[in-house]
C-alpha cells in the first residue's frame, strides 16, 4: 500500500505537475472571466517556472542532502562487504530492448566495481527490485548480474536482491541477505542526495553500514544565482530535491527512519590514520 500510494502521490505533487496545474487554473480563471485570479495564478506559475528552470534553486535544495554524509577519505584494511542500492539501470529500456543500459546514477555501480577490485574478498550485495508502477521493468539486480558476468565478475561473493521496491525494503532485504555480524564493516553505496534517507533506513533495519556517497549533482560551493545554460537540468534538480525531501518526511512520519534528517554518527568517521588505507 505504501509503495502504490507514494507513486500516485508523487505524480500529483511533483513540480512539473504543479506548474501544469497553475497553467490550467489560469485558463479556467480566464474562461470564467476572473481576470484577477487568472493574473495571480499565471504570475505564480511564471515565477515558479523561472525559479525552477533558470536559477540554481535545485542545487541549493540538493546541497544539504549531498553534504550530510561526507566522502570517507580512508577505510580499514579489511571490509566485510559492500551494499549498492539500485536506481542506476534503465529497467524499462532493458525490459524492452535487452542489455543493461545505465542511467545518470551509474556512479553507484562503477564505484562498486572499483571497490570490488580493491577488496577482492569483500562480499557484494546489489539491492534493487522493480520500482516502476506502470510499465514492465527488469530489476536492477537482474541487469547487474548480467553486467558483472560480462566483466568476468562471478562467484559466491556476489549476491543479488531483486525484491525491494523502495529504500526501506532495500535495507530490510539486504540485511536478510547479508546477515551482518557485530563488528563487521560494511559500506553502503548510493547517490549522495539519497544517502540520508538510505542511512536512516539501514539504521532502522539494524544494519550498521558506513556511508559511501557517490553520484554528486552539485558543486561543494554551490550558491543561488541565475543559470540560463540548462533549464531542463535545473528543473530536474528541483524535482530530485523535492522528491528526496518529501521522501525523508514521509519515511519519518511512517516510522521507516527515526529522524527526519539522519546525520553521521561517530562510527561513520575514521578516528585516526593508523590502520587505514587510502582509496
pLDDT value for 133: 64
Question: What are the beta bridge partners of residue 160?
Answer: 126
Question: Given this model, what pLDDT does residue 73 score?
Answer: 63
CA distances from 216 to 51, 71, 224, 225 (A): 21, 11, 18, 19
Contact predicate 116/279, CB 8 Å: no
In whole angstroms, how far apart are CA 5 and each of 11, 12, 137, 250, 256? 10, 11, 19, 11, 15
Mean pLDDT of successive 10-residue stretches along the chain, which has 279 residues: 80 95 97 96 98 97 96 82 97 91 96 96 95 80 96 96 96 98 96 98 97 95 92 97 97 97 70 40
Cell of 148: 558483472
* Distances in whole angstroms, Cα of residue 113 to Cα of each of 55, 102, 108: 35, 14, 9
- Note if the pTM is more than 0.75: yes
Residue 128's pLDDT is 95
> Which grid cell sits at 165?
521496491
What's the pLDDT score for residue 247? 97
Q: What is the reported pLDDT for 189? A: 98
**Residues in a beta bridge with 212:** 189
DSSP track, the chain: -HHHHHHHHHHHHSHHHHHHHHHHHHHHHHHTT-HHHHHHHHHHHHHHHHHHHHBSHHHHHHHHHHHSSPPPSEEES---EEEEES--B-HHHHHHH-S--B-TTTHHHHHHHHHHHH-TTSEEEEE-----SSS----HHHHHHHHHHHTT--STTEEEE----SHHHHHHHHHHHH---TT--EEEEEEGGGHHHHHHHHHHTT---EEEEE---S-TT----B--S-HHHHHHHHHHHHHHHHHHHHHHHTTSSSSSS----GGGS---STTEEE-
pLDDT at 99: 87
Q: So what's the pLDDT on residue 136?
A: 86
Tell me the C-alpha distance between 68 and 166, whole Å.
21
pLDDT reported for residue 131: 64
Amino acid at each position: 500500500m505504501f509503495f502504490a500510494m507514494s507513486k500516485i502521490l508523487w505524480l500529483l505533487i511533483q513540480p512539473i505537475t504543479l506548474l501544469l496545474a497553475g497553467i490550467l487554473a489560469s485558463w479556467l480563471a480566464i474562461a470564467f472571466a476572473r481576470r484577477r485570479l487568472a493574473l495571480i495564478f499565471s504570475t505564480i506559475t511564471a515565477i515558479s517556472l523561472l525559479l525552477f528552470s533558470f536559477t540554481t534553486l535545485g542545487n541549493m535544495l540538493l546541497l544539504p542532502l549531498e553534504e550530510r554524509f561526507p566522502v570517507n577519505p580512508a577505510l580499514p584494511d579489511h571490509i566485510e562487504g559492500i551494499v549498492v542500492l539500485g536506481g542506476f539501470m534503465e529497467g524499462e529500456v532493458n525490459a524492452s530492448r535487452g542489455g543493461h543500459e545505465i542511467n545518470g546514477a551509474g556512479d553507484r555501480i562503477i564505484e562498486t566495481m572499483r571497490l570490488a577490485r580493491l577488496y577482492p574478498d569483500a562480499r557484494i550485495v546489489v539491492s534493487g527490485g522493480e520500482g516502476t508502477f506502470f510499465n514492465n521493468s527488469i530489476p536492477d539486480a537482474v541487469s547487474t548480474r548480467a553486467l558483472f558476468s560480462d566483466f568476468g565478475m562471478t562467484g559466491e561473493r556476489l549476491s543479488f536482491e531483486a525484491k525491494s521496491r523502495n529504500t526501506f525494503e532495500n535495507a530490510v532485504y539486504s540485511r536478510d541477505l547479508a546477515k551482518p555480524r557485530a563488528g563487521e564493516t560494511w559500506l553502503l553505496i548510493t547517490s549522495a542526495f539519497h544517502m540520508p534517507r538510505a542511512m536512516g533506513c539501514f539504521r532502522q533495519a539494524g544494519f550498521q553500514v558506513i556511508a559511501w556517497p557517490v553520484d554528486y549533482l552539485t558543486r561543494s560551493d554551490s550558491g543561488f544565482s541565475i543559470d540560463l545554460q540548462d533549464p531542463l537540468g535545473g528543473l530536474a534538480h528541483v524535482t530530485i530535491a523535492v522528491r528526496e525531501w518529501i521522501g525523508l518526511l514521509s519515511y519519518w512520519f511512517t516510522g521507516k527512519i527515526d529522524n527526519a534528517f539522519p546525520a553521521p554518527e561517530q562510527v561513520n568517521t575514521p578516528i585516526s590514520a593508523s590502520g587505514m588505507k587510502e582509496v
